[in-house]
Chain A
Amino acid sequence: MGGKSKSEARVSMPADCRIAEVGVLYTQLRGALESSQIVLDGTTVDRVDTAALQLLVVFQREAKQRERQLQWAGVSAPLYDAASQLGLTEALALPAKKPA
């Protein structure tokens, strides 16, 4: 495990967050693990699928294991709905309340 930088990483999820685009997000998330604090911004997510949510689940686990601080800057309604439908809100540590 390499030394962690004190910087904060911010990953903004794209509006179209589905399997064909998920490769970019994957790279961004792996890069973000170099930082001790990571902020995920899901405010602009319009379309999301299982592939993207699975990636976020795996990322959450990895971050927890590496003791990174991870928090959501915002979760769009489509993102929340999808996670909820798939029974992943807990695993993704989404805010308990559905955003307006």
Chain B
Amino acid sequence: MAKILAVDDSASMRGMVAFTLRSAGYDVSEAENGQMALDTAASSKFDLVLADVNMPVMDGISMVRELRTRAEYKGVPILMLTTESNTDKKMEGKAAGATGWLVKPFDPEQLLATVKRVLG
């Protein structure tokens, strides 16, 4: 089953995402911020990365930019978990190399539909 990395500094949000995806059979790893995500992504390759935008230590956008410099993450879908008010952030994320976004709030069904859409 596809491997997914969930990155969010909020334990509840991260927990919800991971729980939902695991329930659907995905292999999910978690990271608390961009830096930890980069470390995790270096030791294991993921098919999809879901990342919050605003995080301490390293934000989601810097994380995407860094991840895209790695050959093995070329073309790997990376979705930003963002809020509707943050249209600029969507574009900033895209410019950094994100594939798309998932608008908060989302419920488990929406999350799964988007993940399925991206992973095929």
Contacts and interface: CB of A to CB of B under 8 A. Distances in A.
Question: Does A touch B (CB under 8 Å) in the complex?
Answer: yes
Among A18, A20, A23, A49, chain B packs the most CB atoms within 10 A around the CB of A20
Interface in A40-91: 49, 51
Chain A: interface size category: under 10
A47 to B, nearest CB: 8
A19 B72 CA distance: 9
A76 B113 CA distance: 27
A53 B31 CA distance: 34
Nearest to A23: B71
Among B71, B72, B75: residue with most chain A CB under 10 A: B75
Contacts of B75: 18-20, 49, 51
A49 B73 CA distance: 14
B108 to A, nearest CB: 26
Contacts of B116: none
Interface string B69-95: 001111110000000000000000000
A17 B73 CA distance: 14
Contacts of A18: 75
A15 to B, nearest CB: 14
Contacts of B74: 19-20
A48 B72 CA distance: 15
B3 to A, nearest CB: 13
Contacts of A49: 75
Contacts of A51: 75
A23 B72 CA distance: 11
Given A19-B75, A49-B75, 10 more contacts: A18-B75, A19-B74, A20-B71, A20-B72, A20-B73, A20-B74, A20-B75, A20-B76, A23-B71, A51-B75
Interface of B: 71-76
Sort A-B residue pairs by CB-CB distance and give the 6 closest, nearest first.
A19-B75, A20-B74, A19-B74, A20-B72, A20-B75, A18-B75
12 contacts: A18-B75, A19-B74, A19-B75, A20-B71, A20-B72, A20-B73, A20-B74, A20-B75, A20-B76, A23-B71, A49-B75, A51-B75
